[in-house]
Each structure stands twice: as structure tokens, then as C-alpha cells.
Amino acid sequence: MTHLSYAGFDIPEELINLTGAGADVFIANAEGQLREVRNKVGYEPDHNIVEIGCGVGRFAIPLADHVGNYLGVDIIQPSIDWATNNITRQRPNFRFVHYDVKDDLHNPSGTMTTKDIRLPVADGTVDRVILWSVFTHLFRPEIEHYLREFRRILKPDGKVWASCFVITPEVLEAAQRTNLTQWDLRFENPPDKDGCYINNLAVPRGAVGYSPAALIAMAESNGLMLAREFYKGQWSGHYSVPESGQDGMVLVPRPAQRLSIWRRFWPR
């Protein structure tokens, strides 16, 4: 088994490959994610951070020098085992939890569903929730379950950073024309009635995108709202000045009776 040395850890490359990118870009991606989170939602030394889809700790490892408390969640048992045995051993306040969720793409032998998950975090105690390329593999009921959990655990001034695929007609045209990624992200199948786009019907969870209106509606019906307009991703080739690799959204708790101003720009 080959390993990558990074920040004092020898990380098995077979686990790195489960993150969706290889060892050749692991360090660059790790440090890039740290910069993006700092720039987009920020973090402080006393913050409590929850990451969904933490994998082998690509984001947790560089974050460990900056915050004191972290919970990473994933459905891939070997990744969680490695992170617990290595990262938690050095940083006891960095915890990792496995949920055996059935997922045809990542964990086909799982015994539970996403909707069975209740994050082991007290209500109103989390400053930031981070998701890198998680909503890009989930369907609406699963996303909405997570959003309800985030609303439960977030502090009043807490924030969610979630990367995603935001599909508009212009983005769709550019993605099909340029096809910039190795994953053939062209989303040629028509959306369902709720604005969900599946890239490849033979592998539905391979890549899932949503219309802006669908994402806003999911957030607002579950107690959250957009803090600003969607971040523009590089993946589609549509934006001349992209702000991230995938698209992204920052969500905050929605006060009663208040709706995001951004919904007016994205009618159903």
C-alpha cells in the first residue's frame, strides 16, 4: 500500500482515491479548501465545526491548526477508521463518526438511510457546517433532512458552506458545449418537476444538480436561507471569473417570516 505524507500523516492512497481526486492533487485541494472556507464563511479558534462527507480528512488536517473542535461525518468506514486512529490521536477534539448509509455509489452494502442520521451535536452549538461535493450526490429528501439537522445544530449566527451544481439554461448550454471536467458533466437529461438534474441515468448519484429556485426552496422550507447569491463554479465553463471549482451556497438560519432576497432573482 502506498502512502502520501502530508502534515505529519502518512495517508493511504487507496483512501485518498475515495475522495474523488488522487494523491497528486490531495495537498493542493486540502489547502485550497481551507482558503475557500476562510474566505467564504470564515472560522475562529473557538469555533465548533461540523463537516459532512469528511472522507480521510482532506479538510480536517489543515483545519486542525486553526480551530479547536471539529466533527467529521462520512459513510465510508475505512476512511473514518483511519481518521480516528490518526487525526484524533493527535487532536482529541477532532472526532470522526461513521454512518452506514446505503449508497449505490459510495457504500452499496449500507444498512441505513440518510434520513436516519441525527448528528451527535447539541442544538444550537455549531458555528460552521461544511460540505464539499455532498449535495452533488444527493436527492431532495436527503438534502432536506440534512438542512433540518443543520438548522437544529447551528448557532443563531452560524453558517453553512455547501458546494453544489446550480443549473440554469445558460450554465447548461456552456457545460454541454465545453465539457471541461473528466466526469462528463453535461446534464443532458431533463429535470424533474422539482428542478433536479441527473447527469447520468445509469449512475444517478454520480452527479446531481438543481435549479436555483429548487435550492432556495429547499433551504427556506427547512429553516435556512441564502446569505448571498450563489458562488459561481468553474466546472461548467459559463462564468468568466469563477469563484470555486463547483458552484456553492452560504446558508444561515432563517428568522421566522423572513425570506431570502435572492429568491426574487430565481423564479420557479
Question: Residue 76 sits in a domain of what CATH number?
Answer: 3.40.50.150
Q: Give me the percent of the chain exceeding a pLDDT of 90.
A: 90
For the segment 6-43, what is each residue's pLDDT rounded down to a tens digit?
999 999 999 999 888 889 999 999 999 999 999 999 99
Cα(104)–Cα(108) distance, rounded to whole angstroms? Answer: 4
Instruction: Domain of residue 97: give its range.
Output: 3-165+211-265
For residues 107-120, average pLDDT: 96
What local confidence, expressed as pLDDT, does residue 263 receive? Answer: 67
Residue 24's Cβ-count burial label (10 Å; 0-12, 13-18, 19+) is exposed
On whether residue 219 sits in a domain, the answer given is yes
Does 118 fall in a domain? yes
Residue 204 lies in a domain: no
Does residue 128 fall inside a structural domain? yes
Which residues, other chains included, contact 147 with Cβ-Cβ below 8 Å and sequence gap of 6+? 218, 219, 222, 223, 224, 251
Q: Where are the alpha helices (DSSP H) in 58-211?
A: 60-63, 77-83, 89-90, 140-153, 169-178
Sign of the CA dihedral running 240, 241, 244, 245: positive
Amino acid at residue number 7: A
Label residue 8 left, alpha or beta by phi (over 0 means left) and psi (-120 to 50 means alpha).
Answer: left
> Is 181 contained in some domain?
no
Can you point out the beta strands (E) in the chain? Answer: 3-6, 9-12, 48-52, 69-74, 94-98, 126-131, 154-164, 196-198, 208-210, 224-226, 247-253
Q: Is the pTM of this model over 0.85?
A: yes
User: Which three-class secondary structure state does DSSP give residue 37?
Assistant: helix
Q: Is residue 174 part of a domain?
A: no
Residue 172 within a domain:
no
Main-chain phi, psi angles of 249, to 5 degrees = -140, 145
Number of structural domains, the chain? 1
Q: Is residue 105 part of a domain?
A: yes
What's residue 262's pLDDT? 64
**CA 195 from centroid of its chain's CA atoms:** 19
Compute the distance between CA of residue 82 and CA of residue 94 in angstroms, rounded to an integer: 13
